Amino acid sequence: MKLPCIYMMCNRPNGTIYVGVTSDLVKRAWQHRTHAMGGFTAKYGLGTLVWYERCDEMAVAIAREKQLKGGPRAQKIALIEAINPTWRDLYNDIL
């Protein structure tokens, strides 16, 4: 099922974090994992899905993504650790 989501990828616990938005989290996370799209996530090896949040509407998801991208790193870490304190890969959970 396709639903708007905001998500965070990383390369290791407390490592580099990428915030993105998508309507197909499974497909997008796979693209990051396999570095199929190149860019920032491929350059820094960001293939671990550590956090995501579903939204009812894409406009809401985009606004939330902008909020997170503009916010401090500590805010991103707090969101991750609130639901995923060990920074484990959540990819299999969304399949």
Q: In what order do the strands lie in the sheet with 48-54?
A: 17-22, 5-10, 48-54
Instruction: Report pLDDT for 64.
Output: 98
Give CA–CA dist 50/32, Å, rounded. Answer: 12
Domain borders along the chain are: 5-94
Q: Is 15 left (phi over 0), alpha (psi -120 to 50) or beta?
A: beta
Cα dist from 6 to 82, 93, whole Å: 16, 15
Amino acid at 50: V
| Residue listed under structure tokens 């580099």 | 16
| Residue listed under structure tokens 């965070």 | 8
Q: Return the SS3 of 10.
A: strand
User: Residue 14: what are its φ and ψ, rounded to 5°?
Assistant: 60, 20
Best CATH choice for the domain 5-94 from the list 3.40.50, 2.60.40, 3.40.1440, 3.30.310: 3.40.1440
Tens-level pLDDT at each residue, the chain (95 residues): 579 999 999 999 999 999 999 999 999 999 999 999 889 999 999 999 999 999 999 999 999 999 999 999 999 999 999 999 999 999 999 99
Instruction: Report pLDDT for 1.
Output: 58
Instruction: Report pLDDT for 2.
Output: 78
